[in-house]
Amino acid sequence: MLDFAAKLTDTFDSIEASDRQALRDAEFNDQYIWDIANVTGFCNMTNRVASAVDMQPNIEYHKQNR
C-alpha cells in the first residue's frame, strides 16, 4: 500500500494495472484501492496548496501537544 501511495505521489502517470493487482494480491479490494488513492491524493493536494501559499503551522495549536 505504501509503495502504491509513493508511486501515486511521485510518478502518478506510471500507475499500471499491475500496481493495482499487487494491492489486490495483498488482499486490498477495489474499495480499499479507491480509499488509498483518495487519501493519497488529498494529502498531496493539501500539501501542494500549503506550499503554494507559504502556509505555516499554527504554533499555538502545536504547543498544546494534542
Task: For residue range 11-60, list pLDDT tens digits in order.
Answer: 999 999 999 999 999 999 999 999 999 999 999 999 999 999 999 888 89
CA–CA dist 2, 38 (Å, integer): 13
| Separation CA 10–CA 26 (nearest Å) | 22
The domain ranges of the chain are: 2-62
**pTM metric for this prediction:** 0.81
Angle at the Cα of 62 (from 65 to 6), degrees rounded to 5?
100
Percentages helix, strand, coil for the chain (3-state, rounded to 5) are 75, 0, 25
Query: Under CATH, what is the fold of the domain 2-62?
Result: AhpD-like (1.20.1290)
Give 2's pLDDT tier (boundaries 50, 70, 90): very high
Give the residue from 20, 1, 10, 14 showing the smallest Cα distance to 47.
10
